[in-house]
Amino acid sequence: MDASAFAPGGQLFSVDPLERHAARGHGVVTSMAAGSDVIVLGTSRGWLVRHDFSFEDAHDLDLGSGRSGEHSVHRVFLDPGGKHCVATVIHPGGPETYYHHARWPRPRLLPRLRNSLVNAVAWNRQTITEASTKEMILGTEDGQIFEVAVDEADKKEKYVKFLFKLSELEEGIKGLQMETTMVGNATRFYVMAVTPTRLYSFTGIGSLETVFASYSDRAIHFMELPGDIPSSELHFFIKQRRAKHFGWLSGSGIYHGELNFGAQHSSTSGDENFVENKGFFDYSKLGESGTKPRSFALSEFHFLLLIRDKIKVVNRISQQIVEELIVDNSPEISKGIIGLCSDASTGLFYAYDENSIFQISSSDEGRDMWQVYLDMKDYATALSHCRNSFQRDQVYQVQADTAFNTKEYYIAASFYAKMNYILSFEEISLKFISVGEQDALRTFLLRRLDNLTKDDKMQITMISTWATELYLDKINRLLLEDGTGTSSNAAAESKDSEYRSIVTEFRAFLSDSKDVLDEATTMRLLESYGRVDELVYFAGLKEQYEIVVHHYIQQGEARKALEVLQRHNVLVELVYKFAPDLIMLDAYETVESWMMARNKLNPGKLIPAMMRYVSEPHAKNETHEVIKYLEFCVKDLNNEDPGVHNLLLSLYAKKEDESQLLQFLDTKFGKGQTNGPDFFYDPKYALRLCLQEKRMRACVRIYSMMSMHEEAVALALKVDLELAKAEADKVEDDEELRKKLWLKVAKHVIEQEKGVKRENIKKAIEFLSETNNLLKIEDILPFFPDFVLIDDFKEEICKSLKDYDSQIEQLKQEMDDATRGADNIRSDIGALAQRYTVIDREEECGVCKRKILTAGGLHQVGRSYTSAGHMAPFYVFPCGHAFHANCLIAHVTRCRSQEQAEKILDLQKRLSLMDRKAAKDNGGNMNGESVISTTPIDKLRSQLDDAVASECPFCGDLMIKEISLPFILPEESDEKASWEIKPQPTGQKILPMTMSI
């Protein structure tokens, strides 16, 4: 039969000849083991033939040790790493067991196992290393179990321990498998052993010796399957160094199951049961009555059963034959296939006969497992084995069609939504429309949206819009059903609950889909169905806050409208737009909202809204919200907008109590600013408003602030005399104006005290004491009537005359003091002309360090000074320093600015020219005295003396200023540069200098 007949997806396994003369002339092959690309064969003549396919190498190992007679290899066992090998040889004197390491030149006998026929070996895959077997378990034909360990370095067994013996039913152990897991710091062992009729399981924590010793007083857990079988076998399927499932080839069939070594399910015997999902494959399914497999191998999903020279591949899950492999073993030179073995590390399987080895390899054996599980209706497992979207669609379709046929439309919709290829979107939608399942259709659309990617923008928008209409239709149907009035109370409550639930769900859908729904289309849908609340909700989601606020204002819900406007992403222009309506709707909440916004709002743009509120009548005791907000802007926010200040002032002016208005006028709002105004309102507007409202005291304050003091006093006299006096006293820097203002006040007082009674005149005269002597009696006399008797002013006139007399005496005293001071100055000037000092003969010039009394020939004498004898002209200062005239001029000129230096040199030059001219004109005059006037020369010399000798250059300001001068002047930069050490040229070679003494 062709293998492709069983595997419609292509051949799963293939058989290829590997070695035609595998025994290499050492007899025929009797046993075989594989691990990590290494094959070890046992022959009928007692040889081990080791094939290492990684290095394409083979080694022949003699287990007979040169002994004669039959010594056939009974069984060969190889660890998964291909390094450790155990072989049992049947000699005439009894069986012997050997151990061989891949690096040893020859095998070593395990003497303590002599006469024990080993049928099975279990390796500890978690602890075994390349150098040591660690603990391994050996099973014998007489039902004994041993623990053995061998290290490469020891060249012999490390130990051999007896563990257990099957005494209840004396059968030979045909197969052993072992697995370990860590439980805290301890090791838990799981051991399976099979005989021809039983499968035993052992488990426990500790060492192997402890585990098996514990079964001396407790029952052994086993599974019994009677029947005859040529060879009972036990195999674990290993994946990532862990056993996943097992298979036992028994006389009745193949007993198999999954292994879960972390499970905590205990059996009735007290043992931990680590076998799950048990199954049994009956040989009758092979279609050949009475025929039982000679050997089998276990893959991830299949059993490989050796029946005569054919290998039948049975799916472990479906228990169906999927392939039949024919082994081309040349029957004319072979007695047939002996057995199968597997290499857990590479996933390869091998079949062998007396002379040849055949490799059985799999080609993606799990590719059709999704279909197997699907046929078994195990949908979750089928999905986990799907390789592509098309396979997953087939699983979803079966699930969806099953649910649809059973009228479970919501479940069907969920599965249909996951499909992408087999059925189109339109076909699925029509299925639900045809049965009138609008709700299931909506569910399908929503689930389909979840499965679409961001790139499917157009489809997402269309489906979302359709879902929106289905939601609206569902809500309307619920409303219509609720309005019939025929349902009971319980049914009505159920409908109401369903209605609230669908509305909540719809709002959540709008929130999730706000970015994909077309704004205009969605709003038209909501409006056409009359869902105003949802329209407002969606507008809020789309940040169409104008619609939301307008709706709330129409509903009279000012608080909700203000909450919307307070959101951080709402344009501030909307606040200005809706301010007039909101302040009329709820002034308190609106103003509180404005105050919370603080500097985010421009109060000037809110003035139209405030003006509208002001124009409406309000109760006297009602808190004026506009005033409260304007006061907050002015006092807390330090607002400088003139419009705001003017509006607040106008509101104060309209109040009967003038105290707030006066306090506002007295406050200097710009006091914190440099060169800023004291107030920001318009004083002219304020004055006009106060005059209109007849707030006279306020008008007086405004006149005063505008420096219109005469008008302020004149208006104050009409209101309050004390106010007028206070206004007159405010002028402090202009004595004449202050006196003029007080005269106005005095005139008003005198006119108020009209009459000839003495007490009235006295009251008028007492007013003079309040002016702090600014007004005299003579200033106010013109204001009295002509018929007033002088006797009434006698005392005041006498007092005024005494004051004048006192002032005259004071002036005379000041004149005498000034005369004495002038005389003293003239005396000091006369004494100054006679002042002199004595110069020592050795006194030196402070600049040139030459003696002051140097002869003229020794020093160039300027002709601008008249020399005394042969001495050069010089200066002597009160501090004791002396300088030659020319030295002093040169020193002062150097230290002065360029402009001052030029002035000094010009004076010196002009003085020198005039001196030479005077000398020339008087050359023939006797005694060398000039007869012309020396006044111009003396004037120039005086100017030059003031320029250079006004103070000592060493003791005055000139020396102090020299502290800040640099040591090296700018004009000395060339001299400074000449002292710099320049680097030598790189090409210059310095020769050593030697000196001989």
**Number of CB atoms found within 10 A of residue 206's CB:** 13
- Residues with Cβ within 8 Å of residue 622, at least 6 apart in sequence: none
**250 falls in which pLDDT band (50, 70, 90)?**
very high
Instruction: Round to whole Å and give the CA distance between 11 and 8.
Output: 8
First to last CA, the chain: 122
Is there a contact between 896 and 932 (Cβ–Cβ < 8 Å)?
no
Reply yes or no on whether the pLDDT at 430 is more than 90: yes
Highest mean pLDDT among 571-585, 750-764, 924-938: 571-585
Do 309 and 449 fall into the same domain?
no
d(CA 430, CA 81): 60
List, for residues 849-903, the tens digit of each pLDDT value: 888 887 543 344 444 444 444 577 888 888 888 888 889 888 888 887 788 888 8
Burial class (CB in 10 A: 0-12, 13-18, 19+), 590: buried
Q: How many CA atoms are closer than 13 Å to the CA of 270, on its beta-carbon side?
A: 7
Q: Distance between alpha carbon 26 and the CA centroid of its chain, in Å?
A: 76
Per residue, what are the HEC states of 956-986? CHHHHHHHHCCCCCHHHHHHHHHCCCCCCCC
List Cβ<8 Å contacts ≥24 apart for 750-758.
750/780, 750/783, 750/784, 751/783, 752/721, 754/785, 756/785, 756/787, 756/788, 758/792
Express each pLDDT in 270-314 by its tens digit.
Answer: 455 788 889 999 988 888 777 889 999 999 999 999 988 889 999
Co-location of 379 and 355 in the same domain: no
Q: Is the pLDDT of residue 17 over 70?
A: yes
Asked if residue 818 and residue 898 are part of one domain, the reply reads: no
How confident is the model over 313-323, as pLDDT tens digits? 999 999 999 88
Residue 343 near residue 2 (C-beta atoms within 8 A): no
- Residue 24: the pLDDT is 77
At 197 the pLDDT is 92
Give mean pLDDT, residues 312-336: 81
Q: How confident is the model at residue 397 (pLDDT cuts 50, 70, 90)?
A: very high
How confident is residue 990, by pLDDT bands cut at 50, 70 and 90? very low
d(CA 874, CA 973): 34
* Mean pLDDT computed over 551-562: 82
DSSP SS3 for 17: strand
Domain boundary, last residue among 735, 769, 784: 784
Residue in 397, 459, 482, 475 with CA at minimum distance from that of residue 431: 397
Residues 354 and 380 in one domain: no
Determine the structural domain holding residue 878 and report its residue range: 873-915+939-959
If phi > 0 it is left, if psi is from -120 to 50 it is alpha, else beta; for residue 825 that is alpha
Same domain, 816 and 877: no
Question: In this model, does residue 835 exceed pLDDT 80?
Answer: no
Alpha helix ranges (H) inside 586-682: 587-597, 607-615, 625-631, 642-653, 659-666
* Residue 227 placed within a domain: yes
Element (H, E) at 117: none
Q: Is 136 part of any domain?
A: yes
Confidence (pLDDT) at 20: 75
Take residue 898 and report the two structure tokens written for it.
């360029």
Average pLDDT for 84-90: 93
pLDDT score of 398 more than 90: yes
Beta bridge partners of 188: 181, 205
DSSP 3-state of 764: helix
pLDDT at res. 930: 44
Asked if 898 and 888 touch (Cβ cutoff 8 Å), the reply is: no
Name the phi and psi angles at 434, rounded to 5. Answer: -65, -30
Take residue 28 and report the two structure tokens written for it: 């025929």
Write down the pLDDT at residue 870: 56
| Number of separate domains in the chain | 5
Query: Within 13 Å and on the Cβ side, how many CA atoms surround 666?
Result: 7
Q: Is the pLDDT of residue 487 over 80?
A: no
Residues facing residue 187 across a β-bridge? 182
What is the residue type of 987? G
Q: Considering only 134-148, 187-201, 847-861, 923-937, which range has the smallest mean pLDDT?
A: 923-937
Instruction: Identify whether the C-beta of residue 941 lies closer than 8 Å to the C-beta of residue 908.
Output: no
Which uninterrupted H or E stretch holds 34? strand 29-35
Residues 197 and 224 in one domain: yes
pLDDT at 497 over 80: yes
**Average pLDDT of every residue of the chain:** 80
pLDDT attached to residue 281: 92
Would 584 be classed as within a structural domain? no
**Of 59, 57, 47, which Cα lies nearest the Cα of 87?**
47
Q: How many CB atoms lie under 10 A from the CB of residue 799? A: 13
Among the ranges given (140-154, 508-522, 530-544), the one the predictor scored with the smallest mean pLDDT: 530-544
Pairwise CA distance, residues 298 & 307, whole Å: 15
Residues 6 or more apart whose Cβ sits within 8 Å of residue 302: 12, 13, 313, 314, 315, 316, 322, 365
35 contacts: CB under 8 Å, gap ≥ 6 = 78, 79, 80, 81, 82, 343, 344, 345
Mean pLDDT score, 243-269: 80
Q: How many CB atoms lie within 10 A of CB 678?
A: 11
CA distances from 783 to 218, 745, 773, 939 (A): 141, 11, 18, 62
Bridge pairing between strands 118-122 and 108-109: unpaired
Mean pLDDT of 348-368: 89
DSSP H helices, 342-378, are 369-375
pLDDT for position 123: 94
- Angle, alpha carbons 323-325-330 (nearest 5°): 170
Helix pair angle (721-729, 709-719), 10° resolution? 160
CA separation for the pair 762, 754 (Å, rounded):
11
Report residue 280: phi and psi, to 5°. -140, 130
Question: What's the number of CA atoms in the CB half-sphere (13 Å) around residue 652?
Answer: 22
Are 420 and 393 in contact by the 8 Å Cβ rule? The answer is yes
Q: With respect to residue 603, please indicate whether it lies within any of the assigned structural domains.
A: no
Evaluate whether residue 847 is within a structural domain.
no
Mean pLDDT, rounded, for 910-916: 81
Q: Which of 323, 349, 366 is the last residue of a domain?
A: 366
Which of 344, 366, 388 is a domain's end point?
366
**pLDDT greater at residue 735 or residue 836:** 836
* Collapsed DSSP state (helix, strand, coil) of residue 322: strand
The stretch 761-766 carries a mean pLDDT of: 58
Number of H-type helices and E-type strands within the chain: 32, 32
Q: What mean pLDDT do residues 410-437 have?
A: 90
Q: Which residue has the higher pLDDT, 119 or 897?
A: 119
- Which carries the bigger pLDDT value, residue 282 or residue 552? 282
Residue 163: CB partners within 8 Å, gap ≥ 6?
A: 137, 145, 146, 147, 208, 209, 212
Position of tokens 């879960």? 260
CA distances from 386 to 9, 317, 830 (A): 14, 16, 131
What are residue 685's phi and psi, to 5 degrees? -65, -40
Whether 42 and 306 have beta carbons less than 8 Å apart is answered as no
Residue 716: inside a domain, yes or no? yes
Query: Is the pLDDT reported for residue 226 higher than 50?
Result: yes
Q: What is the pLDDT of residue 790?
A: 53
Residues 27 and 163 grouped into a single domain:
yes
Instruction: Name the range with the highest mean pLDDT among 200-209, 331-340, 514-523, 837-846.
Output: 200-209
pLDDT, residue 785, reads 54
Is the domain of 313 the same as that of 445?
A: no
pLDDT of residue 594: 85
Band of the pLDDT at 53, cuts 50, 70, 90?
A: confident
Give the total residue count for the chain: 997
Which of 53-62, 65-74, 861-870, 957-966 is predicted least confidently?
861-870
pLDDT at 517 > cutoff 80: yes
What letter would DSSP give residue 844?
B
Does 399 lie in the same domain as 297?
no
pLDDT > 90 fraction of the chain, expressed in percent and rounded = 22
- Report the distance separating Cα 400 and Cα 409, nearest Å: 9
Are residues 120 and 245 part of one domain?
yes
**CATH number of the domain within which 45 lies:** 2.130.10.10
Reduced to 3 states (helix: H, G, I; strand: E, B; else coil), residue 716 is helix
Q: Is the dihedral of CA 936, 937, 941, 944 positive or negative?
A: positive
State the DSSP string of 52-97. ETTTTEEEEEESSTT--S--EEEEEEE-TTS-EEEEEEEETTEEEE
Find the angle CA(277)-CA(278)-CA(283) to the nearest 5 degrees: 135
pLDDT band at 163 (very low <50, low <70, confident <90, very high): very high
Neighbours of 822 (CB within 10 A): 10
Which residue's structure tokens are 């010594």? 71
Quick one: 239 and 206 in the same domain?
yes
For residue 230, pLDDT beyond 70: yes
Percentage of the chain modeled with pLDDT above 70: 80
Q: Is residue 659 assigned to a domain?
A: no
Q: 308 with 435, same domain?
A: no
Q: Does residue 846 sit within a domain? A: no
pLDDT for 729 beyond 90: no
